[in-house]
Amino acid sequence: MSASDTRLLLRTALAETTERLGRAEVPSPSVDARALIAAAAGTRQPLVMLDELPAGFARELEELTRRRERREPLQLILGRAPFRRLMLTVRPGVFIPRPETELALDLLREHATGAVETVVDLCTGSGALAASVLDEFPQARVLAVEIDTAAASLARENLERAGPGRGRVLQADLTARLPGGVPAQEGPLAELEAAAGVDAILSNPPYIPPEAVPRDAEVLEHDPHCALFGGGADGLEVPRAVISWASHLLRPGGLLVMEHADVQGRSAREAAALIGGFDHLSTAPDLTGRDRFLVARRADGAPNPGSERLTR
Ligand SMILES: C[S@@+](CC[C@H](N)C(=O)[O-])C[C@H]1O[C@@H](n2cnc3c(N)ncnc32)[C@H](O)[C@@H]1O
């Protein structure tokens, strides 16, 4: 096939695929069509750079298009998701990292005081935040915690690629016990507790309240429910556990940056005030101006907070 025949075929494929995805109400049909065509062609280059197509291109594109028409997320079809400077591996059953979460790294840079050399990522999922810390803070070591076996194993892969030998993933339920009481003798939470004195904690925990069911099929049918719903009437049970762990694990002056829903700014600050141990609490907006992150600094010499004050 000549180069001009290839271009004609690509133009037709782009028009038809975009139209089919549009009919399936995919939110960005043209962008997704380009990505599917590139995947079917086995390239990551722009389509205009293609002079020839592999055998089986049409069959492969048809299969990928059908999957996207059924609203399978593009990232799962491609097996990867961009996050800051990284291309992360993603897999079915594990939460797909979102662009809005990327801002947590900028907030860390903006608000951290002193060194950022030991960092904990609570509820790490695919390891997006932890891997980005390893990538962007070359001196840092990261401990990541995740409840789900498949996500923990995926996070290990992503962390090892981003910062070989500098990341560790613990599989544990952060709500199983809270810090501050009699320390656990063994197991992943004992190891987490022993890490106390860290410079920063990043977290994008589940936080959706039970009645706020996501509308997009991509989210509802493909993100695991334990990655979405935070527990309790307000969706803040897991976030409260995150704050409690942060209050225990951070060194004086250490920073917590935790994502939450745009209506939860005040509740998140109140939860942190109630749990105690912080001397600076604020809410940071995302790029669209909506309140999306709790920023909390561990107080100097504050007494160790009591876990009994955490409402669960
Ligand atoms: C919203 S996802 C975020 C994943 C990742 N931080 C990101 O931004 O892409 C929340 C993650 O928290 C995990 N998770 C939920 N409850 C947890 C718990 N009690 N302890 C530890 N991890 C938990 C879920 O399995 C999920 O991977």
Tell which atom from ligand 1 comes closest to the C-alpha of 204: 6
Q: Ligand 1 centre and the CA of 224: distance in Å?
A: 9
Q: Ligand 1 centre and the CA of 214: distance in Å?
A: 17
Q: What SS3 class is residue 297?
A: strand
pLDDT band at 26 (very low <50, low <70, confident <90, very high): very high
Q: Is 226 in the pocket of ligand 1 (CB under 6 A)?
A: yes
Instruction: Give the span between the Cα atoms of 204 and 123, in whole angstroms.
Output: 7
Name the one residue in this structure whose structure tokens are 């920063």: 200
Least confident of 167-181, 242-256, 270-284: 167-181
| Residue to substitute in 75, 102, 129, 147 for testing ligand 1 pocket (most ligand atoms within 8 angstroms of CB) | 147
Q: Where are the domains of the chain?
A: 3-70, 91-309
Closest listed residue to residue 76, CA positions, set 30, 45, 35, 48: 35
Instruction: Give the span between the Cα atoms of 212 and 220, in whole angstroms.
Output: 11
Structure tokens at 303: 């007494």
pLDDT band at 312 (very low <50, low <70, confident <90, very high): very low
Q: Is 76 in the pocket of ligand 1 (CB under 6 A)?
A: no
Q: Is 97 in the pocket of ligand 1 (CB under 6 A)?
A: yes
Average pLDDT over residues 16-41: 96
Tell which atom from ligand 1 comes closest to the C-alpha of 205: 10
Q: What SS3 class is residue 286?
A: coil
* Amino acid residing at 308: E
Instruction: Give the span between the Cα atoms of 63 and 65, in whole angstroms.
Output: 5
Taking the domain 91-309, which CATH number applies? 3.40.50.150
Structure tokens at 164: 């070989």
Q: Ligand 1 centre and the CA of 156: distance in Å?
A: 14
Q: Ligand 1 centre and the CA of 230: distance in Å?
A: 9
Structure tokens at 2: 């000549």
Average pLDDT over residues 70-94: 97
Question: What does the pLDDT read at residue 303?
Answer: 52
- Name the helix (H) or strand (E) containing 287: none
Question: What does the pLDDT read at residue 174?
Answer: 97
157-212: pLDDT as tens digits: 999 999 999 999 999 999 998 887 776 778 999 999 999 999 999 999 999 998 88
Question: What does the pLDDT read at residue 204?
Answer: 98
Name the one residue in this structure whose structure tokens are 């507790």: 193
Question: What does the pLDDT read at residue 234?
Answer: 95
Average pLDDT over residues 213-220: 83
pLDDT band at 309 (very low <50, low <70, confident <90, very high): very low
Average pLDDT over residues 256-281: 97
Instruction: Give the span between the Cα atoms of 84 and 99, in whole angstroms.
Output: 8
Phi-psi category of residue 237: left, alpha or beta, with phi > 0 → left and psi -120 to 50 → alpha: alpha
Q: Is 130 in the pocket of ligand 1 (CB under 6 A)?
A: no
pLDDT of residue 50 exceeding 90, the answer is no
Angle at alpha carbon of residue 106, lines to 130 and 266, rounded to 5°: 95
User: Is-above-0.85 flag for pTM?
Assistant: yes
| DSSP for 205-270, written as a single string | ---B-TT-----HHHHHHS-HHHHB--STTS-HHHHHHHHHHHHHEEEEEEEEEE--TT-HHHHHH
